Structure 1
Amino acid sequence: MNQIISGKSKQKLIRITTVPLSLKTLLKGQSRFMSSYYEVIGISSAGKELSDVNLDEGIRVLSVEMTRKISPAKDLKSLYKLYSILKKEKPFIVHSHTPKAGIISMLAAKFAGVPFRLHTVAGLPLMEATGNKRKLLNLVEKLTYRFATNVYPNSKGLYDFIVENKFVDKTKLKVLGNGSSNGINTNYFDANLISSEQKTLLAKHLNIIPTDFVFIFVGRLVSDKGINELVKSFNELSKDYSNAKLILVGSFEEELDPLDVNTLQIINENSRILSVGFQQDVRSYFAISDCLVFPSYREGFPNVVMQAGAMGLPSIVSDINGCNEIIEDGINGIIVPVKNAQSIYDSMKRMISDSELKNSLKEKSREMIVSRYDQKVIWDAILDEYKKLENLCTK
C-alpha cells in the first residue's frame, strides 16, 4: 500500500542501481530527501550496503541480484524478479542508475506498466569499447532509452554524445540543473571541518611532512581511470622533485579493468606513492593534499572532482565530459588531453613549481562548486521533475 500522510496517499518512487554501493554513496541523502514527498523504495543487489541504505536513508529496500558483466541467463532471472516486484508495488516512477540496472529496470518497468520510466546516464562504458562489444553495448543503450520515458544525461557532454550517436530522439533527453546526479554536500565537504590534529595524525601516519607537495587520486584503481598514465607521470616527477607525494585512495579491480603489470610494480616500488585502499571518509585525505589528479578516460559527472573542489583543491583533469564542465582550465584547475602521460607530467610539474598558479586555482575551487553544484540545488531540480510527472498523472 502507498503511505498515507495527512490524509493524502504518497505515490511510490522506486530507485534502482546495479550494486548497493551506488545506491548508498552516489545517491547519498537523496532518498531521504525524496521521502518527504514520496514513498521511496531502493532496489539493488544484496549486500551490507543495501542494509546501510535502509538505515541511512530511512527507506524500504529490496534485493534483486544483478551483475555488472554481460550474463544473459542471470540477466533474464533479474528481469523476471524485478518485473514481479514492480507488478506488486505499482510505483508511478521507476528511476534507474548505472548501465545494467538501466536496461533491466526499463524493460521490467515497461512490461509491468509503470507510467514513468526514468534513467539517469552517468557515464558510458561503451565509450572505451570497440568491435563487437561496442556494437552490443550500443544496442543495449538504445534499448534502455527506447523503453524509458525520460532519459537524463548528468552532463552536457553526455547529452551531446547521445545525440551524436543517435541513441534516442532528443525529445526524451534533459540535463537537470548544471549536471550531476546528486550534487555535492558542501556543508560536509568543507576543509574547515578537519582539525589540525586530524591532519597532523594522518600526515604522520603516511610519512608526509610539511614541505611535501601532495597529489591525490580518489576512485577505482583501474585502467580507464587513467591510473597507468598517472603513475607513469608521477614516477618521472618524483625523480625531479624529492618533495612530491601521490596518495591513491581506492580499491584495485583485477577482474574488469586491471592495471598494467608495470604500473603495479611502480606502485609497489616507489615509496612516495601511497596506496591507502578504499576509504569511507576521504575528507582528511583531501585536507592534507595540494592537488587532485583525475585523468579518467570517461565519466558522467564525477563526484570526486566536485568533492575535491569543495575541499578547496585545484584539479588536473582529462578533457572529457563532466570533468571539463566542473573544471575551467586556468580558473579552478588544469585540463589535459585524455591518455596523455606527458601532459599529466607537465601539469603536475606546473602545479608543484608555480605556487602563484596553484594558489590562484585554489582560491576559486570551493566557490565555483558551492555556486553551481550544491546538493540542494540538484535535489530540487530532480524533485521538480518528479512533480511535473506527478501532475501529468492527475490530469
Structure 2
Amino acid sequence: MNQHYKVIGISSSGKELEEVKNDEGIETYIVEMTRSITPIKDLKAAYKLYKFFKKEKPFIVHTHTPKAGTVGMLAAKLAGVPHRLHTIAGLPLLEARGAKRKLLDTVETFTYACATQILPNSYGLESIILQNKYTNPSKLKVIGKGSSNGIDVAHYDSKLVSEQTKTDLKKELHISDTDVVFIFIGRMVKDKGLNELVSAFDKLSKSNKNYKLILVGPHENHLDPLLPETEKLIEHNKQILAVGMQKDIRPYVAISHVLTFPSYREGFPNVVLQASCMNLPCIVSDINGCNEIIEHNVNGLIIPVKSETAIQDAMQFMIDNPDKRTEMANQSRVRIVERYQQEYIWNKLLKLYKSLE
C-alpha cells in the first residue's frame, strides 16, 4: 500500500511496532490502547488519535481489532476523516453474557456507526453481524473470499524446512519417527478450545505413548485463563509439549501430522491457512472462518464447538486412518494457493481504496 499511499501505522508501543516500521518502511505513531474495558484510558486514546488525525488529515483511516476500532473510528469521525474502514477479524463479545454482553453489543454498534464501511474477514462473520443487527447490510463488504491479509504461500511451504532442521527439532522434543503428532497454534486461552483439547488428548495419550501434542503460543492468563486442571495436565503429561511463543512456526508444523484448532469463535483464522498451506489436514470447530477454509473429509474434519468427545474422536480418526490423512494433506495446500494468496487479497483491498478516490 505504501507504493500507492503515504501509510502511517498506529499502535500501542512495543517491539512489534518497531519491526513494522523497519520492515515496511513506513512512519509509525504510538497511542497506548488496552485490550480490556478501560473507559478512562480509552477516552485518552481517542483524544490523542483525534488530535493526530486533525493534524495529518488522512484520506482513509483503517482500523483492526475491537479496541482500535472503537477509539479509532470515533476519533476519525470527530476529526472529519472522509473514509473510515474497520476490519472485523473476530467478535470476542460472542462469548460474553449478561450485562457485559449488552455493554459490548452497544460498543460494537457504536463503532460501526462511526465507520463508513465495515469489512468482516469472512462470510460467516458477515452473517453474525447481520443477525445481531450491528449495522446496515450496505456498510458490509468481505474482501475477496475472506481473510484479513491473505497468506504468503511462498513462505508457508513445508519444502523450506530442511530435513536436518526437522531431525534436530524432533530430537529436542523427544519425538520419534513413529509418533503421530498433533499441533495447536494460537493463544493459550479458554476461547481457543484448549481446555477441551488438552483433556481429550490426555485421555487419548493414555492408550499409546506414540501420540504427541505440540502447543505453540503464549499464555494470556490475565484475559482468558485456562482451567487449573488443564494447566496441570500440560505440566505433567510428558506427551504434551508446550513450546511457548515461536516467531517461526514452520519447523513445528513441518514435524506434525494434524492441526487441532477447536476454537469457540474466529474471524478468519490465519493458523488454519498457514497449516493447510504446509500440507496439514486440520481438525476445526464448526464456526465461521474455520468452516470456510476446511471442507469436511476433504482437507480436514469439522467438529461441534466445545465438545471434548468430538475432539477425541476426530484425533482417533486421524490416527486410525493414515491413508485418509494423507489424502486430506494432499488437498490442503492447493486449496489455499487457489483462494487465499496475499497478492490476491492486497489487490482487492487496493481496488477498494482506489474506488474511494
Q: Secondary structure at the match of 2:206?
A: helix
Deviation string, structure 1 residues 284-323 (Cα, Å, up to 9, x no partner): 0000000000000000000000000000100000000000
Calculate percent identity across the aligned residue pairs.
59
Matches within 5 A, 1:49-60: 49-60=16-27
Look up the match of 1:107: 74
Look up the match of 1:84: 51
How far apart in 2 are the matches of 1:234 and 1:202? 21
How far apart in 2 are the matches of 1:334 and 1:164? 26
Q: Secondary structure at the match of 1:209?
A: coil
2:42 is matched by which residue type in structure 1? D
Q: Which of 153, 160, 164 pairs up with 2:131?
A: 164
Q: Secondary structure at the match of 1:357?
A: helix
Matches within 5 A, 1:108-127: 108-127=75-94
1:378 is matched by which residue type in structure 2? I
Look up the match of 1:343: 310
How far apart in 2 are the matches of 1:359 and 1:333? 10
How far apart in 2 are the matches of 1:51 and 1:251? 20
Q: Which of 267, 274, 297 pairs up with 1:330?
A: 297
How far apart in 1 are the matches of 2:194 and 2:323? 27
1:331 is matched by which residue type in structure 2? V
Look up the match of 2:35: 68
Matches within 5 A, 1:190-339: 190-339=157-306
Q: Secondary structure at the match of 2:324?
A: helix
Deviation string, structure 1 residues 188-227 (Cα, Å, up to 9, x no partner): 0000001100100111100011000000000000000000
How far apart in 1 are the matches of 2:15 and 2:273? 27
Deviation string, structure 1 residues 337-381 (Cα, Å, up to 9, x no partner): 000000000000000111111011111000011101011111111
Look up the match of 2:141: 174
2:90 is matched by which residue type in structure 1? G
Extract unaligned runs of 5+ from structure 1.
1-33, 391-395
Look up the match of 2:121: 154
How far apart in 2 are the matches of 1:111 and 1:336? 44
Displacement after TM superposition at 1:241 (Å): 2.5
Look up the match of 1:359: 326
1:182 is matched by which residue type in structure 2? N
How far apart in 2 are the matches of 1:304 and 1:241? 27
How far apart in 2 are the matches of 1:355 and 1:276? 26
How far apart in 1 are the matches of 2:222 and 2:143? 34
How far apart in 1 are the matches of 2:346 and 2:203? 43
How far apart in 2 are the matches of 1:146 and 1:313? 40
2:237 is matched by which residue type in structure 1? N
How far apart in 2 are the matches of 1:283 and 1:337? 28
Query: What value does the CA root-mean-square deviation take over the aligned residues?
Result: 0.5
Q: Secondary structure at the match of 1:240?
A: coil
How far apart in 1 are the matches of 2:15 and 2:66? 22
2:263 is matched by which residue type in structure 1? S
Q: Which runs of 4+ in 1 moved over 3 A?
A: none
